[in-house]
Structure formats: C-alpha cells, structure tokens
Structure 1
Amino acid sequence: MLQHAQSQKFTVAVLADIHGNLAALRAVLADLATQSYDQLVIAGDLVMNGPHPKETLDCIRTLQVPTLFGETDRAVVEANRENALAYWTAEQIGTTGIAYLETLSFSQSIMPPQDASPENELLIVHATPTNVAAFLVLEPNSLDTRCATPTSEAEASDLLGETHPRLILHGHVHYASSGYVGNQQVVSIGAVGFPFDANPQAAYALVTWNGSRWEVIHRRVSYDYESVIAAVAHSGQPRADTIAHRLRTARWCPPLS
C-alpha cells in the first residue's frame, strides 16, 4: 500500500526491466509495501524474456502508475516471425496487451513538491533521454571487459540531448551505477527481473527529495529465481536456455560498439 512520506520529503519508487519475471515483480512489490513513498514509476522493458509476460503485464496494469516503454516493449509491438522471442511474447499478451504497450510514455518528469526550479527536476527514462535503445555507460560493469569502456563525454552529452534536469534515472543496463555528464547526475537503478551484476536478487530504487537535492537508495530483494528458471524451461518460449543461464548467473554484457 502506498504510504505518504514525511513532511518536505518526497520519495519516488522506480522499477525497471521486469522482463516478464512475475515472481521478481511480486517480491519487489511486497518489499515496496514496507517502505514509505509517494509515487511509483515503472521504467520500461516489461514483458519480453521472462516466462509470464501476460501475467506480468496484468499485474503492472492493476498498479495504475506512470509506466514507460523500453526497447523490448517496442520490439513486441513491432514483432514479426523474424524476431521469434518478441513474436512469442506478443502472442502471449494478445492484442489487448499490445494496445496497452502502444500507449506508454517515453519519459516521466517529476518536480519536487513546492519547488518548480527546472534544475531540480527528476527525469526518469528507460535508457537515455533521446534514445530508448542506446547504452549510456558512465560507471562500467566490471564483470565483463566488453563493458569496461565508458561512453565518451561527447556521446554522453548527445544522448542527454537538450534536457537539463539535476538527476536522470534510467534502467536498461541492468546494474546500478552513477556518474555525471557535466553537472547532471545520471543513475542507473538495476533490474527487477534480470540483474546483470552477478547478484540474482531483484533490484529497484527509492529516490527521495530531501528539501535540497535528490538522494538515491538502491534496494535488493530475494526471490525464488530457480522456480522462474524452471518456468522458462516449460514455457515453450524461444531462447529458453540462454534466458535461464542469464537468470541463474545474473551476468550479461550487451555489445556496446
């Protein structure tokens, strides 16, 4: 149940990269019910890769909170047989689910209560403010040498575009990180359904305005990921072995070149 934060404080709970992992989502929501917060935002990649895309989407829709689309959600909307996993996911969620994905926003802007200063804006996106599929790496994932090269300052600036919030929060890279592009802080929050930091626990973040700045707290939540791996094996979805391996190891690095 949503609870109101203390006076002058304003807390936003942010979830991203659920990827059809209903068990992880339920575990995070149960943990979130023990926290004090004012608003919940879901930052994309909702249904593809996990074994329960329809049930996950149904759960998300019942929350009735601001929800963004990620690049895999776009892939599901545009699915054809050449992308077997996106096509399978689209079949699972049906036309009603696809129609819902088409309504989702690209970003969510939040201003602190009683403070309309543009520099104090919190901007939540799936990947970057300009591109839903681009990888912005300011603090590399040390688990894989392919992830060891940060985004150049010029490219990072281009990916932020004309936005000037004090804090940009995103998912997409599936691990928690923090860095600066000029004077703008950019924080990734990790993944609910598919963490890639060698820790299989579900991840989300609480972002609190303390009266003068935003503070980010990362939370991890245990859940029975082995049961999800078993569900993947019996789901009939394409690439089940690869997905099961990523769930168990909580490791993967995207091609960044």
Structure 2
Amino acid sequence: MTRTAILSDIHGNLAALESVLEDVAGQNVDRTVCLGDVIGYGPDPCACLDKVMEFDFCVLGNHDSSALFDPEGFNIAAEQAIFWTRAQIECGSDGPEASMRRMEYLCALPRVVQEDGPVADVGGLPLVGGLMFVHGSPRGPTNEYVFPEDTQNIKKMEKLFSLFSHLCFQGHTHVPGIFTSDLRFVRPVDTDDGYSITDTSQRLMVNVGSVGQPRDGDNRSCYVILDDEKIQYRRVEYDIERTVRAIEAEHELDDLLGHRLRDGR
C-alpha cells in the first residue's frame, strides 16, 4: 500500500512547513508531494524552496509562476510580497549558485502531474483509477479557483469532472474539502477517519488545504495523506507567532499577511 503525503500552499511559512514535515515523518509515508505555491506571502521563501526541492515532485502554483513573471490579479499586499520574494530568490544570502538552483527549479515545475491510481475490484474486474495533481483545477491547472460554492455552478463542475478519470488533487483556495461528482462539498470534519476512494468509478476533486495560509477558520496547517483506500486530512499546530514576528520584521511585507494567520483567514 503506497502512502503519499500531499501538501500545498506553503507560502514561505517555514514554521508551518517544519511542523507539518515533523508530522509527516510519523505517518509512514512512501513519498511527499506538493501542489504549488511554495512561496509568496511568507518570510522564508528560500528555506521553503530548499525543503520542497527534496520532495518527490511539486507542481507550479500561481505565486511560484509570479516569482518568475509579472503577477496578474494580485492585490497590493500580495504583489509587493511576490516582488520581495523574487528578490530573495534571485539574490539569496547563500550565494549565486543557490539562487540559480532555486530559479531553475521553479522554471522546471510542471503544471500537471498525472499517474495511475489505486486498483479496485469492481464486479470481479480490477479497475485502475487515475490521479491528477494540479494547483488550481483540471481546466486551469495554475490559476483557476474552485470554491465550495461552485457546487451550485453545474456547468462549471460538469466540465471540471469531465477532465479526469478518478481523483484530482488541488489547492489554491486554501479551503480543504472534497468535491463529489454529485455536486457535494465534504468538509474535513465530516470525513471522520478518512474518505473512501475504493470505488474507482467515482470522481472526486480533493482540495488538500494549505500548510502556510489556512483560510477555513482553523489556523492549523492542513495536508492530506493518500493511500490505496482512503483520503485522510491532518491538521497540525505550529508556532504562528514565529511567522508573524518574521513578517513584521520585514518592512516590505504587509503585517496583515502575518496577523491573519492567527484567525485562519
């Protein structure tokens, strides 16, 4: 049984990432992957990139992309943060070789990763489900948002569900939960010890939540463990004030980016 830790939206929050990785270390996982937005907002982009570069894979997030190109659609605080983040990566204190290595890593990130998923016995026949990993959505892998209220947008959801065969893992909204093909949104608190995925004829979009910028009213980091039978959400406490202090100490980062971490918003 393969166990995968799926993280997303770290956003330069090293304190959160370290706590999550400590939790991951106790979960007997075979691999760790990331769904993008390693950087942006937070005070430690280089350190977070260095840790994620050791993961099995990472896909491109919109903040990762904006560190390479001009940001589009960002508010003032986010735009200012991404320009500061770009400067940290380009001119890191550990020298030009480390800076080049990080930039090359960002440039090589794929927008989508697709794999075969778990095998289920349906009617005596083994059926293999497909896995898709994106930052935003199956249709807009880097930038499209899928919010819980989109379950009311039938045309949008039908299109998204038509683009993958079994499971699509995503982040971007920082709001964890499972979208079902019958247009329900199942929140982590309603999944008990895990949400079954053994029916490979079922299609699910799984938002794994955010490590570094939770926005569902719970200020703990959120990530997912995937095995051959279920999806399990995990919430991890971290030293929020450490990140708040680091943001406040950097005059080019808006203090709001740290203060909102306390409320999980």
- TM tier relative to shorter chain: 0.7 to 0.9
| Structure 1 residue 107: Cα displacement | 1.8
Name structure 1 gaps, 5 residues minimum.
1-8, 141-147, 252-257
Cα deviation code 1:218-256 (max 9, x no counterpart): 001111111110110002333x222022211111xxxxx
Partner of 1:5: none
- Tell me the distance in 1 between the aligned counterparts of 2:181 and 2:16: 32
| Aligned 8 A contact 1:79 1:90 in 2 | no
**C-alpha separation between the residues in 1 aligned to 2:86 and 2:12?**
12
CA drift of 1:50 comes to 0.3
SS in structure 2 of the partner of residue 245 of structure 1 = helix
RMSD of Structure 2 on Structure 1 (CA): 2.2
Q: Is the 8 A contact 1:189 1:218 kept in 2?
A: yes
Question: In 2 relative to 1, CA 174–232 (structure 1 residues): closer, same or farther, beyond 3 Å?
Answer: same
Verify the 8 A CA contact 1:194 1:250 in the aligned structure 2: yes
2:251 to 220, 223, 236: 236
Question: 3-state SS of the aligned residue for 2:67?
Answer: helix
Unpaired runs of at least 5, structure 2: 91-98, 121-125, 183-201
Deviation at 1:118, TM superposition (A): 7.4
- The SS at the match of 2:227 is strand
- 2:251 and 2:206 mapped to 1: Cα distance? 35
SS in 2 for 1:237: coil
Q: Distance in 2 between matches of 1:225 and 1:22?
A: 10
For 2:108, which of 75, 98, 103 is the aligned residue? 103
AA at the equivalent of 1:246: R
Tell me the CA shift for residue 207 of structure 1.
0.8
Partner of 2:185: none
Question: CA contact under 8 A between 1:10 and 1:112: conserved in structure 2?
Answer: no
The corresponding residue for 1:56 is 48
Cα pair 1:90 1:98 within 8 Å, conserved: no
Partners of 1:159 and 1:248 in 2: how far apart? 33
Q: Structure 2 length normalisation: TM-score?
A: 0.78
| Residue type of the alignment partner of 2:144 | A
In 2 relative to 1, CA 218–199 (structure 1 residues): closer, same or farther, beyond 3 Å? Answer: same
Q: Deviations over 1:65-99 (max 9, x none)?
A: 2111111111111037x932211110001152233
Query: Structure 2 matches for 1:1-257, cutoff 5 A?
Result: 9-61=1-53, 63-79=54-70, 83-94=79-90, 96=100, 97-112=102-117, 120-131=129-140, 132-137=142-147, 140=148, 148=149, 150=151, 152-160=153-161, 163-181=163-181, 183-210=202-229, 215-238=230-253, 240-251=254-265
Change (3 A) 1:165 1:118: farther
